[in-house]
Structure formats: structure tokens, C-alpha cells
Structure 1
Amino acid sequence: MKMMQMILLILVGVCLRSAAAAKLGVVQTEGGLVEGLNIDMGFFRTVEVFKGIPFADVPGKWEKPKPHPGWDGVLVATKYRDRCLQVTLLQTKIHGSEDCLYLNIFVPHGLSVSTSLPVMVYLFGGAFLLGASNDVEVLGESLYDGKEMANRGGVIVVTVNYRVGTLGFLSTGDERLPGNYGLWDQHAALSWVRRNIRAFGGHPDNITIFGQSAGAASVSFQMLSPYNKGLFRRAITQSGVALSPWALQKNPMALTKKIARKVSCWQTQEDDMLACLKTADPVKLTIVGKMNLLAIFGKDPVMDLLDLAPVIDGDFIPDDPSKLFHNAAQFDYLAGVNSMDGHLFAGIDVPSINSMKETTTAEQVKGLLSGLTKEKGDAAITSAFSVYSVHWGLAPYPAIVKKTVADIETDFLFLVPTQIALQLHANNTSGASTYSYLFNMKTRIPGFPRWVEAEHAEDLQYLFGKPFSIPLVYLPRHRDLSGYMIAYWTNFAKTGDPSRGNSRVPVSWPPFTKYHRPYLMINHSMTKSSVSYDLRSFYVNYWTQTYSQLPDAERMEEEKNL
């Protein structure tokens, strides 16, 4: 008996030594040597974390990123680096740095060092105005900490910084200040990952990019750009695509002139004004590029305050995004939205929807529609209102009217553009797969009405494994959901099929095709009935067919004046 115990102890000791030895240690990259930190994940598993590796040099103002010159010795990569210069969440002050083009790598190991793992590169959201690769601290841990996803999914996770706000997306709409600097940063990071990830145990031919909100729109732009052919293999967009109405600047020169005046560049000649802008203080340029919080409760929908965004520059984005899906045909694509993605914005535009005391009136619903559909004029308000109120009946319950407001903004800002992107991808692809989902877990945010389901960005805590890393603030059902999401996402990264891979999933997820439109409802209680078809097709058809064919208000006005 004692001999058996001794053998067991020796075996455990050998395993422990093997687990301790399972690390890359000092890694050779193109810029120099780097060394990270090993984190014990239990069960003889570790995740080796490399924080703050530069993928480009300090960028010049409104210039494309340049290669990093490299460093001497070993770069101790154990601390996150500064975010790119930006406003704080409340937009009262500035933080971050111009020296910000860094990425973080999370590499999982078992008893031996990992090799040829799939790679998942995450692009953060934040309205193209704020955010970072290590954003939003939750009990001392970044929301985008990749260790749980890496460990449970058996993939390398990479999180990336890119320029935002005025320094990332200001543009004149022509070659003088073409814009899209933040997109070029993302492209530079992806190129760096492809060139260097093999040294970290990754497979350079199996890279998936994924992102949420503005990060999802960024993923979409990267798919559509001709510069990314062969650079990655798969893409996931969560609550945002390049076709979203907030994802593209419509009149960049007007915004540039407005920002120029705010930093005292009053020159009437555009070239002189631009020369002045290029000498302006980066901190001042950043603060004047913030959203006007005082205008948020004004007449216009909050969407109209999201000024800074990518542009059609004739280069990185050579044409209207809807015309570029032939570039995306090579990538496997998985996309979806949260069932109440628009609720946050609807609550700002129509505050009564979250009030226990106030009712929401039909006039308020029409007022919201007038703001969203102003390019089509009064006819669109009447038309859209009849579509969204058709199920109300003569005396609708107050909660039904309130939920309708959230549904309108969810459809217009997120769901319909995503469905169009999925259809365009499926129409263009030859061999690559397409998958659609709706994340509809009930909200965990206290104080909201009972009808509120998945709020914007609520999917991220589950995808990044927070119910496992911070177990005390979650319940078993949240861990179930987190496990499902990590399994689907990482299976997709490995094989192009979210149902097929090393991780077991609760329900098989059928692909979305040109003529067949299934989607998976993702929550903690998934069965075969979690697969449904033609997501909100009544409303998708309205926006894509009836609404889009209405004449533009501006053109009607011109014809009237002839």
C-alpha cells in the first residue's frame, strides 16, 4: 500500500514539474526577445501571458503605422501599456498616450508547450472614440483578459490597441487627410501576428479576428478591405458591421472643419486649416472630438452624435461597404447581435421606456422614428410606425410600447445591418461558411424593466469567461452559458464550424446559406428548439425593401422646388 502511495506521489511530482516547465520562456520576435508570465489555471494547465508587445512604432499624427525599430535585451512583457489617447468614459478628461500600439498574447499550455494553435485576435469596441485592449476593470481584471478563453478553448488569444477618436478617424474625405488610421493600426497588428505568432505556438494560417460593437464593425471593414487577402482565415462580428448606420462617416470634411474651429484653426483656405491642425496639441484635438453630452437628450437620436468613424477613402475602404463583399468571400463568417442591443440607446432617446411611472406614447415612438428616418422624410415615419405598431391592438400594454422602442433601435442600428451582411456574405462566398446567432440571455443589470433581455455588450462577460474567473458574482447558469459561448467561438476558430472541434456544444448550429437562413438563440438553456429561422424577417424585409425604396427627402425637396 505504501509503495502504491509512493508511486502516486512520484507521478504527481513528475506531472507538477512538467506543468511548471510547460512555458515558452524567452521568445524571439522580429523586434527582439520577449518574456511573459505563466499563470496557473489548475489541473496541470497554465496560460502564458505576454502584455505590452509593440507591433508598430509610435505613430505620427494622422500617419499610417510604421514598423517598430526593435529593442535590445529581453522585453519583460508583464504589464499592459497605455491605451491610445482618448477621452474618459464620462468625457471629462483625457487619458492614454500617443505611444500606444501594443498587443497582448495569451498562450495556453497543458503538460507540454503548445504548438500550431488556432489564433483569435480581438478588436475592442467603444464607438471608435474610446476603449483599449485591456479595457473595463472587473474586480481587478480586464474585461478582455484572454486567459479563460485561451485555456478552455485551446486557442491563443490576442488583444490589440488601435488609435481612436480624432487621432484615429479624422478625415477630409480625400488624400490630404484620408482617415482610417485606426483601421490601419488593426491591419498592422494582424500583419505582425501573422509574421510572429508561430514563435508563440500559434498557427499563422489559422487566424480568426473577432470584435464587438465598433470592434465588430472594424472586423467587418478588415474583411472588406483588399489589403487583408490571405492575412486571416475567419471573422466574427458581435453587434456591429460595416453596414451599420453609425459605422461610416457621411460628411468627414464638415466634421474636420468643426474640430479645426474648436482648436482655433480659423483659416478659410482648407490647406492652411489642415496645416494648422497638424501643429495642434494632440490632447486638445482629442478632447474636442468627444460626443456632445449636452445634446444627448435633444431632438436627434444618440446615433447622430457618433461623429468619428471610418470613411470610404478609395484605398483601405475603396467603395461603399455593401459593394465590397467579394473581398470577404474567402473568410468563414459568424455574426449576430444581442436581442436588446438598442435598449441602451433607446433609453437615452426615449427615457420613459425605463420609467415605472411614465408611459411611452405613440407620439414619442413617432418622434424617435423621425430622427432615425429623416433622410426619407415624413412618409417613412408613417410607414415605419404602422409596421412597428401593427401588433399593439387598440389599447396596448405600456410595456409593449416601451419594448417596441428598444426593438426599433436594435433593428435599425444592429440587427438589420447584420442580417444584410450575413446575406451578402452567403451570396458571395464560394466554399467559406456563414453562421447567424441571436444572444438573448436576460440582462444582469439591476433596475431595468422585466422585459429587457440582453443589453449591448452583455455577451462579452460570458465570452471572456468571467463566470469562471470571478465565480462569486455569478450563478451556475452563467457558467453554463460561458462554457457554451467559449466552445462555439473557439470551435469556429479551429474548424470554421462552431459545432465541430475539441469542445462539446449543447446544440448543433446549422450554417446560414443563400436560400436558407437559420440562426442559433444563445442563452443558458439551449435545446434543439434554440435553432430557428428567418430572424425578425418581417422587420428585416421592411427596412431592406419597403423603406429603402422610399424616395430620399432631399431629392423630393429639390424636385418640389424645380
Structure 2
Amino acid sequence: MALKWVKDNALNLGGSPDHITIFGEGAGAASVGFHMLSPMSRDLFTNAIMQSSSPTSYWAVKGTQETSARVATLAASVSCPVSLGDALLPCLRAVDAKLLTDQQWTLVNRWFDVPIGPIVDGAFLPSHPEDMLKAGDIKKTNVLMGVNLNEGIFWIYSFAANMPLDKEGATDKEQFRNIVLAIADNNATLQTELLKVYSKEFADAQKRRIRILDAASGDSLFKCSVVDFARQYTELGGRVHLYSFEEKLTSNPWPGWMGVLQGYEIEVVFGLPLNNGSTNTQAEKDLTKEVMGLWTSFAKTGTPEFGEVEWPMYSTETEDYVKIRTKGTTVARRLRSHACAVWAGHQFP
């Protein structure tokens, strides 16, 4: 309804119904992808921006059978009817919001999971996003998408509460291997392969464990699905500009060694470093202006434009992407390709 309202009223707001761009980050990026797939909404906008996720991330959508079972479990835990009948919804609405929120996490059965998420309902999502993408049943348009350098580290620290933030790499060997096993979906064979691949990537033995956990979790949860979506969408004739945001702002409250965490590019996209009283460096303010220019030019034309550097479209031959950072925005190739090849062989349930 919101998208329809925007399209119907764009002219009255000084815009154009033919130049509407939707964008989101994390779960919001997956939602943008769902709108690209959905026959109910794909014609209500023009371009799409997906930051740090895609509709094919394994956690982004649930099957109806699994969701029904989880709803029944949640209902039972708060003394509501287990059957999906007319009495269920009024009962859940009457439950204390905090209790309902707390109880939903009892439904989670893996280290990173969404208790109750979007489902394939046969209407908004006629079938699973991966199947629709493979069939080419998706809006063909301009897409700006990408990831942050350290997508996984935040989630590792929410998972392992006994890892002190003031000590980089503070994990013992047993804890480290257990977390890798959890990231590997409790698949011991995949765990062994991950340790082999990621150990080669990080040479510093002192920091290797935490860097492996960051990279492995970030790849499995976000980066590989973004790169895979870019590849498949390009093969279908879609136009993709891919990026990696690699600048940690001096105003960021997390310890410096944690890097460029998921979600913190949003501050730059919305111009927070330019606010009065900002403590950010001039280089960070300049980067903010550049990123805002990229996002707005893409929204206007479908192509991100900046400075003297040409941002090439992603192609399956060269796999070009842009590194966004204060020390110079540059073009690179094959984002996480070696590590993502390992994840491509694993099917999450």
C-alpha cells in the first residue's frame, strides 16, 4: 500500500512515478529483493538498492510448514490456542509485548536465525526466492548492492558473550572450533573445509581466530548471497553495480579492531558526519558527500556517478566492484570469490 501511495502521489511531492528507488539494509535489503520478485509490487518502483543482504540469504525466508510449527510453539508458550484458527490472533495480541518478544527467541535452533520471518505465501511470494531467481521471474532493472568489510564480527560477539570486547582475538582453541562448527551449520566436514580455506587467508596467528570467525560468519550470512545474487541477476540481463564499504568512522563507538561493522554505512548514506557538532574528520565528511552523491545519482539515473573513477557494472567475466573508503575509492575484482566457492556447496535447510 505504501509503494502504491508513493507512485500515485509522486508528482504531487515533486517527484516522478517513473523514477522511484527503494532501498534497505540487512533484512531491509532482503525485503527490497522480495519486492523485485513479487508480482504484487515489482511494477511500483524503478530502481533498487540492497545493502548487506539479498532475498536469497538463507535466513531471509521460511517455509510455511516450519513457520506454522513455530507459531504453534510460540502460542503454546504464552497459553494461546495452538491451532491456526480465528482465536489465535486475538489471543496473541492480548499477550504482553515484552513477553511475546522474549518468547520468540525460544524458537531459534541455530546460531543465527530469524524466529518468524517472511514466508512463501503463494501470492506476494509465489515460490521460493531462489527458484524465482533461477527461473528469471524477477523485475529487470538497475541494482546497487554491496557489503561492509566486517559483516560478521558483530554477530560473533552477540553469540559468544564471554569474549571481551577490549581484547582482539580473545578466544581459546575449543571455543573457536565450536563457533566455527556453529557457523558451519553443525556440519563437521564443512567445518574442516572452512578452517582450511580461511586459515590461508589470515596469516597473523595472533589475530587469526577472530578474523576467521568474522570472515566466515560474514560470508555465510551476507556477503556470499549478495555476490551470488549479483551474478545470477546479471546473467538474467539485470544491471548491477557492486560495492564493498571499507571505512570505519572515528565516531564509531565500537573498538577500533572490530573494523567496519554491518549497518554503519547507513550513517554515511544519511549524512550523519555532516551534522553540526560532528567529530568526524574532514576526510570522513568528504567520503560522506561522495557516498550521498553515489546513492542519489543512482536513484535519479540508475547509474552511480562520482569523480574521475568510473564504476563499471558487475559482469560474470570480470566481477568488478568498487571499494569505498577515504584513502581512495578504487575498482577491484572478484569479491570473496574463493571463500564463497566453499559456501556454494552447502545447502542450508
- TM-score w.r.t. the length of structure 1 is 0.57
**Distance in 2 (alpha carbons) for counterparts of 1:196 and 1:447:** 41
Partner of 1:520: 322
Residue among 189, 196, 206 paired with 1:386: 196
Corresponding letter in the other structure for 1:218: S
Equivalent residues in 2 for 1:95-494 (5 A)? 188-250=1-63, 251-267=66-82, 270-271=83-84, 274-280=85-91, 282=93, 284=95, 286-291=97-102, 300-301=110-111, 303-304=112-113, 306-325=114-133, 326-351=136-161, 352=163, 354-356=165-167, 359-374=170-185, 377-391=187-201, 396-429=204-237, 432-443=238-249, 444-450=251-257, 452-494=258-300
Deviation sequence 1:76-120 (CA, Å, 0-9, x none):
xxxxxxxxxxxxxxxxxxxxxxxxxxxxxxxxxxxxxxxxxxxxx
The answer to whether the 8 A contact 2:62-2:119 is kept is yes
User: C-alpha deviations, 1:119-176, integer Å up to 9, x for none?
Assistant: xxxxxxxxxxxxxxxxxxxxxxxxxxxxxxxxxxxxxxxxxxxxxxxxxxxxxxxxxx
> Structure 1 434/285 Cα, relative in aligned 2: closer, same or farther at 3 Å?
farther
Paired with 1:260 and 1:208, the residues of 2 have a C-alpha distance of: 38
Secondary structure in 2 matching 1:435 = strand
The answer to whether structure 1 residue 510 and structure 2 residue 312 are counterparts is: yes
Aligned partners of 1:333, 1:447: CA distance in 2, in Å?
Answer: 30
> Are the counterparts in 2 of residues 216 and 241 from structure 1 also a CA contact under 8 Å?
yes
Superposed CA offset, 1:252-299 (max 9, x none)? 0121112211332245xx25xx32212225252743442569979x99
Seen in structure 2, the aligned counterparts of structure 1 residues 342 and 391 have a Cα distance that, compared at 3 Å, is closer
Shift of 1:223: 0.8
Once the two structures are superposed, residues 371-391 of structure 1 have per-residue CA deviations (whole angstroms, 9 ceiling, x without a partner) of 23336x322222222222234
Alpha carbons of structure 1 residues 289 and 512: separation in structure 2 relative to 1, 3 Å: farther
Counterpart CA distance in 2 for 1:243 and 1:399 is: 31
Partner of 1:133: none
Compared CA separation, residues 521 and 255, structure 1 to 2 (3 A): same
Letter in 1 for 2:337: S
2:270 and 2:259 map into 1 onto residues whose CA distance is: 20
Tell me which protein shows more helix as a share of its residues.
2
Other-structure match for 1:94: none
Letter in 2 for 1:484: E
CA distance in 2, matches of 1:197, 1:359: 52
Report if aligned partners of 1:247, 1:310 keep a CA contact under 8 Å in 2.
yes
1:322 aligned counterpart, secondary structure: helix
- Distance (whole Å) between structure 1 residues aligned to residue 17 and residue 253 of structure 2: 43
* Structure 2 counterpart SS, 1:244: coil
Which residue pairs with 1:543 in the alignment? Answer: 343
Distance 1:470 1:421, change over 3 A: farther
Deviations 1:233-269 (CA, angstroms, capped at 9, x unpaired): 11000012111122112410121112211332245xx
1:358: how far off? Answer: 7.0
Quick one: distance in 2 between partners of 1:255 and 1:338? Answer: 32
SS at match of 2:44: coil
The residue type equivalent to 2:122 in the other structure is G
- Tell me the SS of whatever aligns to 2:10: helix
- Correspondence for 1:531: 331
Cα distance, 1:350–1:192 mapped onto 2, change above 3 Å: same
Whichever residue aligns with residue 255 of structure 1, its letter is R
RMSD, aligned CA: 2.6
Query: Given the two structures, how large is their TM-score scaled by the length of structure 2?
Result: 0.89
* Runs of at least 5 residues in structure 1 that lack an aligned partner in the other structure: 1-187, 555-562
CA positional deviation for 1:343 = 1.1
Decide which moves more: 320-329 or 417-426.
320-329
320 and 232 in structure 1: CA distance in 2 versus 1, 3 angstrom threshold: same
Tell me the distance in 2 between the aligned counterparts of 1:357 and 1:487: 35
Distance, in Å, in 2 between the alignment partners of 1:524 and 1:341 is 19
Distance 1:290 1:249, change over 3 A: farther
Q: Percent identity?
A: 26
Q: How far apart, CA to CA, are the structure 1 residues paired with 2:169 and 2:123?
A: 50
Moved more, 315-324 or 506-515: 506-515
Q: Is the 8 A contact 2:151 2:262 kept in 1?
A: yes
Deviations 1:191-248 (CA, angstroms, capped at 9, x unpaired): 1100111111110011111111111111011111122242211100001211112211
Deviation at 1:508, TM superposition (A): 1.6
User: Which stretches in structure 2 are left out of the alignment for 5+ residues?
Assistant: none
1:426-459, CA deviations, whole angstroms, 9 ceiling, x for partnerless residues?
0112xx4211100010254345252x22111110
Structure 1 residues 525 and 291: CA distance shift in structure 2, 3 A: farther
Letter in 2 for 1:382: T
SS of the residue corresponding to residue 227 of structure 1 reads coil
Q: CA deviation at 1:473?
A: 2.8
Rounded to whole Å, the distance in 1 between the matches of 2:169 and 2:283 is 33
Question: Matched residue of 2:89: which SS?
Answer: helix
- Where 1:209 maps in the other structure, the secondary structure is strand
